[in-house]
Every structure is written in C-alpha cells, then in structure tokens.
Chains A and B, each alone.
Chain A
Amino acid sequence: MERRQFLGAVAAGCGGCALARPDGLEAEPFQDPFQASRPLAAEEGGLNPVPARWNKALPNGWVECGVCPRGCKISEGERGTCGTRENRKGQLYTLVHSRPCALGLDPVEKKPFFHVLPGSLALSLATPGCNLECRCCQNWEIAQARPEQVRTMSLPPAEVVSLAKQKGAPLLACTYTEPVVFAEYVVDIAQAGRKAGLRTVVISNGYVQEQPLADMCREIAAYKVDLKGMDEGFFKRHTGGELKHVLETLRRLRRGGTWTEIVYLVIPGQNDSEAEARSLARFVRDEVGPETPVHFTRFHPSYRLQNVPSTPIATLDRCRSAAITEGLRFVYLGNVPGHPGESTYCPACGKPLIRRTGMAVLENRMKGGACPDCHRTIPGLWV
C-alpha cells in the first residue's frame, strides 16, 4: 500500500464508525487501512531498519540493548525479547521506526488521560512489539508479534504531525502496543510535534531504562503507566517482567516532573484484593504524589485469560474506595460507562468538575485549571 492510499484510507476511515462527542466533533476509531493491501513480504518484510539508540557494543559482535530493563544481549542475527531490535553485523537496529501497524483518532479519555486536555482528539499510533507478555494483552495480535508478521505502513514523524493537524488533533499518542520498544520513533514524533505546536503522550507499561525514559520525557507532555499489579510474584507470572522496574519508572517520572497518570487493570482473583489496592494507593501517595490520577479499570477476557470473568463493578468500587481512603485525590474507574467514578470531583468541595461517560466528556466546569466553586487548583495539563 502506498502512503497516499494509506492516508486516504485514514481519511476515509475517519468518516465512519463515529463516536459522537458533545462538542460536535467526531472521534472516530480508525478503520483498518490494510484490508486491501498486499502482504508485505515483497515490501522488504515491512521492516525499516534504523540504527537503534541506547545500546552498547559487546565482544564478539554482540550488542546489549539499553531500552528496557531486560537489557537483552543480542548476538548477530538475533533479536531481543521485544522482537523489534536486531543485531546486524554488530550494530543494533530498530526495525519499526516510522512503521506503524495501527493508527487511530481517539478521544484522549480513551488512553485514558483524564487530566490532559479533556475532550481532545489524539492521533494515536503503534508499531508492532512489546517487551512484556501480559496474559491479558488486549492487542496481542500486534503487541505479541514480530514486526514482519504484521502489516505496517511507512509514516515518518513529519507525516504523523501533518496528519494530526489535518484531522484537528492537538495530541499525538503513542499507544496500543508498547511505545518503549519504538522509543526512537516516539522521540522523533514528539520533537516534530512540539515544533508544530502538538503535544505527545505516551501510554506505556513503564518497563523502560532511565536514559530512554529521560529522552522521551524531554519531548513528551504526559506519560501513562499501566501498573499491572503490586505483587512481584504476580507481576512476574502475569507479564514475565519485574515490578520493581516499573515502580522505579514512576519515581523517575515524579522526579522529572512529567505529568503522569496510572492505570491498574483489576483482574478477578488475580490482583483484585483490597490489600493490593491499598498497597498501590500508598505507593502512589508516598512516592509519586497523592494528586496523581489513578484509574482502576475493568478487565474483560482476552488473550490468555479467556477463562476469567469480567471484573464485578463492586470490586472496582472497593478498590476505588480503598485508594481514596489511603489519601489519593483523583481516583477513577474505567471501562464502566456511566459510572460516577468516571468523573472528576474537586477534592476540596467535592463538586463535580468534569462529567464523563465512556470516553465522552459531558460537561467541563473547570476554570483556569481550578474548581469554579472553591478555586482549588486541579493538577493537569488543561490548556
């Protein structure tokens, strides 16, 4: 598929399957632009080898990847765990730069970011690959695949920016899979976006080393971390990674001053105890900040957890209450359309500030980043 066709498909896709928004704009899930495309085997496997950043050479032509805490040591011809970084003659290449496999125009609430330009559109994209393997992965077809196994399209950062401007999206979102594995692309998109007056947000598992995180945070506006659990054993079983690295990322985000929101997917019988919710809340309160928004989201069966039922609403309510009791100021529920826990309330006077349902903003009463009634400042990126 040529880029022009692809962009045409974006435009066409944006005309259908619209999600009505109260301000009259339309946020449209992007339609599959690849339906008519041919397999990419004839297109160099859809790969775009670009020298990778954040790595160091080892003896015998090996390379140590420095993007995520796995620190994969990669021999000639091999790839790291994410499947997106390949050693070619002693040089590590990212194979996914400028090769998104998913592209959408979403409300920022879908990410979810509730304290970043509420009601705004985010041009959202992903490349294939992930450095974890969560048993509930919602996008496993693209996140758990190697890049050549997924249809992709060439979309350099400048094209991303121009597409966002064309669609009236003030935000660029690196999301759906794991932006850490395409961190070079994230940085380049964010730089190009910043020059054009657009902000970039990252939706990540937080499994990232210090330097690439710092380099991303210099360019982006906000970082959302999917905190999968608060128990190291569960985290290992569920994702294959180590929780301590994600907690360290959250501390680094706090120290660096990057706007951060946290999502905790509540999985019945696995990470849904009140004790875990309290543990999470205490960690956030003490080490990230009590004003950090935390979203408890509802699990639905997916990927390898097909036999686990959806999260009962009562469980989510219990988690939310526990987190509020522990001192968090902005605790939300997700994937529960119409629940009062989707809305933002002033921690001082308790009045609703932003009323939401699903991914739509029904009412935004905020004035200059503060409560219009008691003038309490509400943290976030509001303008």
Chain B
Amino acid sequence: MSPSRRAPIDAGRRRAFVGLAASAAATSPLARAAEAFLPGPEPGPKSAPSRAVVAVGRRPGVLAAGGGLEPKLLADGLGAAVARAAGEQTPVLAMRRLFRPKDVVGIKVNCLGGRGVCTRPEVALQLAAWLQAAGVPAERIYVWDRTDRELLAAGYALSRSGVRVFGTNDDGWGDLVDWGPSASRFARVLAEDLTAVVSCAVLKDHYIAGASLSMKNWYGAVHNPNKLHEEGCAPFVPALSAHPLVRQKLRLNVVDGSLGQCHGGPGRVPRWAWPYSGFLASTDPVAIDRVGWQVIEARRKEAGLPPLAAENRGPRWIEAAARLGLGVADEVRIERVEV
C-alpha cells in the first residue's frame, strides 16, 4: 500500500493520540512542557511549539571496561531521561503516556558506524522492555535499521519473534514518494506497519551535516541516503523529518551518548570517541538535536578542535527544522534538565 493511501489512517491515529495526551497533560507542569511537541498537522510556523524539554541522564561508568553497558547505570540514566522527557516519574509511565498498547512501535536505531559508534543494543532493548511494561506487546515492538548486515555488525541479534530486530534490507522499500528536496522509497515497515516511532540515534559528528543525531537518523529509513548530503544536508534533514510518515508517528527521541564521537564521523574514529556516559531524551526532535550539537561542540573544544561552523559544517538544518515548525532550536526556549 502506498504511503499516501495510508495518510488518512495516520491522521486518525494522530487525533486519537493527541486526545489521549491532552487528557494526561493536565497532570503536571512537566507534562505540559513535554506536550509542547506533539505530532501535529502539516508543518508550518503556527505549529511550532513554544518551548521544549531535553532531559540528559549521565551516569559515569555506564560504559564498562569491556565495551558493554552496565545494566543498572543504563536503566537509571536512560530511564531518568525518558521519564523526564515525558514529564513522568518513571520510564514505564513515560511509555504509557506516549504509546498505546495497540500501537506498533518502531525503534529506529543507527548502526552505520558499527559496534564502536552505534545505538547500543542494550539501549534499544531497554526501551523495548519499558514499552512492554507499559502494555505494548513484544511482537508489536520493532527495532530496525537499514540492513541486517549493519545490525549484526553493531552487535544486535536478529529476531523474528518477540521484539522484532531486523533490517529493511534490499527488498523492504516501498513506493517512490516525492518529499520536496528529493524523492525516496521509504522503508515499508515505516510506511505500512508502524503507528508510532522512536528515533534512537547516536551522539556523533558527521563530516557533512556537522552532527548526526535524532533527525538525521531518518536517513536510514529511505532508500537513497547517499543523495541527501548536498548543502550540508540542510534542505533534506528537516524536510524528511517533516514528512507525515515520520512526523505523525514520532513520539520520542533518544540519543545514545554512552560513547560519543566529536570528529571524523559518521564512521568510527576511535581517536575522537569519548565516553559521554549519558543519554538524551525529548519529545522534541529539534531541541534534542540542538542539545546534542552543544554536547559535541563542548567536547570538540576540550579536544582542541575548532567549532563545526569554522569547518563550514555547522548543522544549519537544526534552525531550518525549527522554521518548519518541527520543534524548538532556540536555546533560551529549551529546558535542558540534567537528571
């Protein structure tokens, strides 16, 4: 089924979700802040939220000596961030607030850089566990990326039962969709199966875009990411994030910063990797990318590297996304909360 034919269904789901969220929003100020960004109508200045919350859960030592993640610290740091992003006390309550049991939830991970600089499997699976605790059945939770090959290289175990873990692969692309700056085939799983998505990205530098964070993660949901890098990705990242297939399904953004990379990305360059030991979470894709960019810039400064703008690769697409009404890019209007 073509994405365009599904659009009315998505719109219906969105209305139901907005209604659900609105009723919950009355519960707390934090919740109201998190409500600032909700999947909304077609992008435009009027739909821009006024403020946003980005929660940062840092837990030194979460990156274990052997390269794995300490489960307790992961659950604590990531859980605190997710909970705060949704304005709830626990990550399970956050998931319950953002997702419905009948949703089919896709957790889009980024495995391009391989084991060293990817969304860690532990992070994606922890999110899946909280979703299940919130009532979403395991078989309605998909952890997915471009290919099985990249998932395997990043340490994921493919699965076709329980929580699904799989790649779009060669034959998983849908009909051509012209989305403005380019035309792409979207992953069928996104276009046809999922009702809600989590962008679960990596905290890393990108040699063209400046940074690869939550919004750029959607490059892995179209068949032709190689065609989307002109002009520092500025025309493409916002437009792709604004496409209804993404925007109307996006509920949560998470950036895995257990191990970040401040230069040389998107591939792995160990010299520029550092244990940020933290996780970012927000319902606002623009705000989380703005904060992620700040984190990368701060690390670059510590490492003696020039600002991204000095290398002519400041992520201009963040402001462009804000102009499209996708979220908040203005630091003053972003509440960055260390949890």
Contacts and interface: CB of A to CB of B under 8 A. Distances in A.
Nearest to B173: A149
A69 to B, nearest CB: 13
Contacts of A62: 207
Interface residues of B, number: 28
A146 B269 contact: no
A83 B266 contact: no
Nearest to B223: A149
Interface residues of A, number: 30
Interface in B139-197: 147-149, 169-171, 173, 176, 178, 182-183
Nearest to B183: A304
Contacts of A133: 182, 227
A73 interface: yes
Nearest to A45: B170
B112 A146 contact: no
Given A45-B170, A146-B224, A240 B269 contact: no
A46 B264 CA distance: 29
A83 B224 contact: yes
A41 B226 contact: no
B311 interface: no
B207 A148 contact: no
B338 interface: no
B114 A46 contact: no
A79 B223 contact: no
Nearest to B168: A149
Contacts of B229: 81
A138 to B, nearest CB: 13
A170 B238 CA distance: 50
A145 B225 CA distance: 10
B262 to A, nearest CB: 13
B170 A60 contact: no
A76 B268 contact: yes
A145 B230 contact: no
B113 interface: yes
> Interface majority SS on B: helix, strand, loop or mixed?
loop
Contacts of A77: 112-114, 266-268
B226 A40 contact: no
Contacts of A240: 227, 230
A81 B226 contact: yes
Contacts of B148: 41
A82 interface: yes
Contacts of B169: 41
Contacts of A80: 226
Nearest to A83: B226
A87 interface: yes
A140 interface: yes
Interface in B255-274: 264-269, 271
Given A149-B223, A240-B227, A78 B267 contact: yes
A75 interface: yes
Contacts of B176: 140, 303
B171 A39 contact: yes
Given A45-B149, A303-B183, A75 B266 contact: yes
Given A61-B267, A148-B170, A79 B230 contact: no
Q: Which among A77, A83, A240 has the greatest number of chain B C-beta atoms within 10 A? A: A77
3 nearest CB pairs, A to B: A76-B267, A75-B267, A83-B226
Given A61-B269, A76-B268, 11 more contacts: A39-B171, A40-B170, A75-B269, A77-B113, A77-B114, A79-B226, A80-B226, A133-B227, A146-B223, A148-B170, A149-B171
6 contacts: A41-B148, A75-B266, A81-B229, A83-B226, A140-B176, A303-B176
Interface of B: 112-114, 147-149, 169-171, 173, 176, 178, 182-183, 207, 223-224, 226-227, 229-230, 264-269, 271
